[in-house]
Amino acid sequence: MTTQTYTDFPFIVDGVNFISRIHSDSPFLSSVKNLPAGVFEALNIQAIQELIGSPKLLTIEEVEDELDRVNEGGSHAFILLGENN
């Protein structure tokens, strides 16, 4: 059982829902929360487009595989599929 907590930041790329999840103890969290509205969302959208391309061209399983690759070795922040996918 985990006692870790996270803050989730939802965003959409090409109609696919994602969540940028940051560990609550991460030194990055306060910086993200201090960004102007929409900036962190735009950065996440750009990251998805650069790292996996257009998610609407992939199956959900392919998107999950790509996110596993992207998140490998992560410790503070992760990108996950959101709900309704």
Would you say residue 65 lies in a domain?
Answer: yes
Q: What is the pLDDT of residues 34-78, one digit of tens each?
A: 999 899 999 999 999 999 999 999 999 999 999 999 999 888 899
pTM: 0.87
Range of 30's domain?
A: 6-81
Would you say residue 22 lies in a domain?
Answer: yes
Q: Under the phi-then-psi rule, with left for phi > 0, alpha for psi from -120 to 50, and beta for the rest, what region is 45?
A: alpha
Q: What is the pLDDT of residues 2-46, one digit of tens each?
A: 557 999 999 999 999 999 999 998 988 999 999 998 999 999 999
**Count of structural domains within the chain:** 1
Would you say residue 1 lies in a domain?
Answer: no
Would you say residue 52 lies in a domain?
Answer: yes
